[in-house]
């Protein structure tokens, strides 16, 4: 008889795990509280405009292709991946830089804005390529036991961890101008961290962009989650939407299933927990079983920043780049206020503009654009009252966009609008509104991050940004692959060799 697996949450990690496990012969059921799949990688329809709620580009597309291949499918049969070049435009107070994965063009762009720094780009590609090659095997293996942590693979990679250094310090080895360093370190915000605190090993992020490029998915990145749900069902799995889980069920220290909000109880041989980690521990686990993740200790852990989001349907085709990042004039002060002081940054803050319609006209009516604005802001530990702050911050953001980008008169072009604040993220079952989950300090990585085979309970496995390897779509897919392989080994189901490994 098939072993039954319940997956709690239809985010990218839960759907990847469900897809792999269904392909390998398990009886898989996914329970999702929302009305659509995807979690933070879901879509948003506002009038005739279509947006991605969260991630807006795909890096390391080969990981996505590998997990589809492992599920017996080809990405190309479900999705259209569109390479983006230039990668993005960076706007500083005195210059604009167009970043590209064409190494020759990038070198010339660097020399045009920062004379003498071209050779540093070559060193960056060479040295960070070595780091990526050494560390990628560490990010794709399990650390659910001390023996797995003390592995030869990790021991060989220790010199590449950059212990004691930050991303900013590491990138400063290649470039002698702070603005150029920032052009290769702002990616630490993908992890919800400051470049001055993010561990140096994450210098891999800009390397991956420049080495492998980034991609848009036609129709929006949420199409990935929808495609995964299709694959789950093609292999006989079931995906139940609008079906929230109330609590995990236990016998002793083993998870035996879930109780749904409607009172039904569903038994399982193993449960894959893809809900936001902080939310799951504080809401889905009975208080007497929360242990080291009880409310007090959990809140003392370090969580990422949050984000203020605006999704705008505008009645004009916008000729800006697909991705634009605008840096605060005093960027370091802005970062300190978001991550350390946990206050709003007055009138000087960084923001991101996503103009996917310039690449993908399916997202907006003809002659119009779907714009997505994002501002990194403190998580809910700040105590900010977003009911009070929401309106003034909206006006402030629109003024900054109109002042510092080609979007003059943006306010008058808006036809449709939706805003998501940190409080809204928290109401969407994201602990503290921390949109990038637990931070990626060394004390919360690898063996020290909640384990894929969860250390607190038997028969419980984690996927998503709150477990190893961490946040970001490609590594979330890897978390699901790791957990799926562990479940297969537990039930003596052969684990096929991972494609690309």
Q: CA 122, 127, 133, 135: dihedral to nearest 10 degrees?
A: -140
Same domain, 331 and 261: no
Residue 44 covered by a domain: no
Residues in the chain: 501
**CATH number reported for the structural domain that contains residue 20 in this entry:** 3.50.50.60
410 in the same domain as 315: yes
Under a CB-based contact definition with an 8 Å cutoff, are residues 212 and 60 in contact? Answer: yes
SS (H, E, C) 243-258: CCEEEEEEECCEEEEE
The answer to whether residue 274 sits within a structural domain is yes
Instruction: Report DSSP state, residue 3.
Output: P
Tell me if 309 is assigned to some domain: yes
Structure tokens at 273: 């927990």
Whether residues 427 and 318 share a domain: the answer is yes
The reported pLDDT for the residue numbered 144 is 83
Residue 312 lies in domain: 305-431
**Exposed / middle / buried, residue 74 (Cβ in 10 Å: 0-12, 13-18, 19+):** exposed
Q: Point out the least confidently predicted range of 142-151, 178-187, 439-448, 461-470.
A: 142-151
Quick check: is 385 in a domain? Answer: yes
- Looking at the fold, whether 199 and 104 belong to one and the same domain comes out as yes
Q: Report pLDDT digits (tens) over 327-355.
A: 999 999 999 999 999 999 999 999 999 99
* Listed residues 394, 414, 431: the one ending a domain: 431
Domain-embedded: residue 71: no
| Residue pLDDT, tens place only, 227-280 | 999 999 999 999 999 999 999 999 999 999 999 999 999 999 999 999 999 999
Going across the sheet that includes 306-314, the strands are: 96-99, 88-91, 323-326, 351-354, 369-377, 306-314, 414-420
Of 181, 212, 243, the residue that ends a domain is 212
Q: Are residues 188 and 96 in the same domain?
A: yes
Indicate if the pLDDT at residue 442 is higher than 90. no
- Does 464 share its domain with 395? no
- CA-to-CA dists, residue 349 to 26, 329, 354, 382, angstroms: 49, 8, 17, 17
Task: Determine the average pLDDT of the residues in 305-318.
Answer: 97
Residue 45 resides in a domain: no
> Does an H or E element contain 52, and which?
strand 49-52
Q: Is residue 58 part of a domain?
A: no
Confidence of residue 111 (pLDDT cuts 50, 70, 90): very high
Same domain, 190 and 173: yes
What integer best gives the mean pLDDT of the chain?
A: 94
Alpha carbon of 33 to those of 248, 329, 483: distances in Å?
Answer: 15, 41, 22
Over residues 143-195, the pLDDT tens digits come to 888 777 777 777 777 777 777 899 999 999 999 999 999 999 988 977 888 99
| Long-range own/partner contacts, residues 39-43 (CB < 8 A, 24 or more apart) | 39/9, 39/10, 39/11, 39/12, 39/14, 39/225, 39/274, 39/464, 40/11, 40/430, 40/435, 41/11, 41/12, 41/221, 41/222, 41/224, 41/225, 41/473, 42/222, 42/225, 43/220, 43/222, 43/223, 43/226
Please state, in angstroms and as integers, the Cα–Cα distance from residue 136 to each residue in 55, 141, 204, 261, 365, following that order: 21, 9, 9, 40, 41
Average pLDDT rounded to a whole number, residues 112-123: 97
Q: How many domains does the chain have?
A: 3
CA angle, 67 as apex, 65 and 72 as ends, to 5°?
90
Domain boundary pick from 171, 192, 212: 212
Q: What is the pLDDT of residue 164?
A: 82
Quote the pLDDT of residue 294.
93
Per the DSSP assignment, residues forming a β-bridge with 4 are 27
Q: What's residue 47's pLDDT?
A: 97
First to last CA, the chain: 31
Is the pLDDT at 445 greater than 70, yes or no? Answer: yes
Per-residue pLDDT, averaged over 25-34, amounts to: 98
pLDDT given at position 500: 54
Q: pLDDT at residue 501 above 60?
A: no
Pairing of strands 351-354, 369-377: antiparallel
φ, ψ for residue 44, nearest 5 deg: -135, 125
Q: Is there a single domain that holds both residue 326 and residue 375?
A: yes
Q: Please tell me whether residues 90 and 205 are part of one structural domain.
A: yes
225 and 198 both lie in a single domain: no
Q: Is 68 within the bounds of a domain?
A: no
CA distances, 481 to each of 137, 464, 495 (Å):
13, 11, 10
pLDDT in tens, 37-91: 999 999 999 999 999 999 999 999 999 999 999 999 999 999 999 999 999 999 9
Looking at the structure, do residues 453 and 388 belong to the same domain, yes or no?
no
Cα separation, 498 vs 475, whole angstroms: 15
pLDDT for 119: 97
Is the same domain home to 385 and 415? yes
| Residue-level pLDDT at 499 | 60
């Amino acid at each position: 008889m098939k072993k039954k697996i319940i997956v709690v949450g239809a985010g990218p990690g839960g759907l990847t795990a469900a897809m792999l496990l269904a392909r390998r012969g398990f009886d898989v059921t996914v329970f999702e509280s929302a009305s659509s799949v995807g979690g933070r990688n879901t879509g948003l329809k506002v009038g005739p405009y279509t947006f991605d709620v969260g991630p807006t580009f795909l890096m390391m597309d080969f990981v996505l292709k590998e997990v589809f291949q492992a599920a017996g499918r080809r990405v190309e049969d479900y999705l259209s991946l569109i390479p983006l070049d230039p990668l993005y435009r960076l706007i500083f107070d005195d210059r604009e830089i167009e970043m590209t994965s064409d190494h020759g063009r990038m070198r010339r762009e660097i020399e045009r804005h920062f004379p003498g720094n071209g050779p540093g780009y070559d060193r960056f590609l060479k040295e960070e390529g070595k780091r990526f090659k050494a560390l990628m095997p560490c990010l794709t293996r399990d650390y659910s036991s001390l023996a797995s942590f003390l592995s030869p693979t990790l021991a060989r990679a220790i010199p590449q961890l950059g212990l004691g250094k930050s991303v900013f310090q590491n990138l400063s080895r290649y470039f002698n101008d702070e603005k150029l360093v920032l052009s290769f370190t702002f990616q630490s915000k993908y992890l919800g961290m400051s470049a001055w605190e993010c561990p140096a090993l994450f210098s891999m992020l800009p390397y991956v962009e420049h080495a492998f490029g980034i991609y848009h998915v036609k129709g929006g990145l949420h199409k990935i989650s929808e495609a995964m749900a299709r694959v789950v069902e093609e292999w006989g799995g079931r995906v139940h939407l609008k079906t929230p889980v109330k609590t995990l069920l236990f016998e002793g220290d083993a998870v035996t299933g879930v109780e749904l909000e409607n009172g039904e109880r569903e038994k399982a041989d193993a449960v894959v927990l893809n809900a936001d980690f902080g939310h799951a521990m504080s809401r889905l686990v009975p208080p007497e079983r929360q242990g080291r993740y009880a409310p007090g200790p959990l809140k003392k852990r370090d969580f990422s920043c949050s984000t203020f989001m605006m999704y705008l349907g505008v009645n004009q085709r916008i000729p800006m780049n697909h991705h634009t990042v605008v840096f605060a004039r005093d960027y370091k002060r802005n970062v300190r206020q978001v991550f350390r002081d946990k206050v709003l940054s007055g009138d000087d803050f960084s923001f991101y503009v996503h103009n996917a319609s310039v690449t993908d006209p399916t997202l907006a009516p003809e002659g119009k654009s779907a714009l997505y604005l994002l501002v990194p802001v403190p998580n809910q530990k700040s105590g900010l009252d977003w009911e009070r702050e929401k309106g003034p911050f909206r006006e402030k953001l629109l003024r900054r966009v109109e002042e510092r980008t080609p979007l003059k008169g943006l306010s008058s072009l808006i036809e449709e609008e939706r805003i998501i604040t940190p409080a809204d993220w928290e109401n969407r079952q994201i602990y503290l509104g921390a949109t990038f989950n637990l931070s990626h300090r060394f004390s919360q990585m690898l063996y020290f991050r909640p384990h894929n085979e969860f250390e607190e309970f038997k028969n419980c496995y984690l996927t998503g940004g709150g477990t190893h390897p961490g946040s970001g779509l490609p590594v979330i897919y890897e978390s699901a692959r790791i957990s799926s392989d562990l479940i297969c080994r537990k039930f003596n189901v052969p684990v096929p060799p991972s494609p690309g490994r």
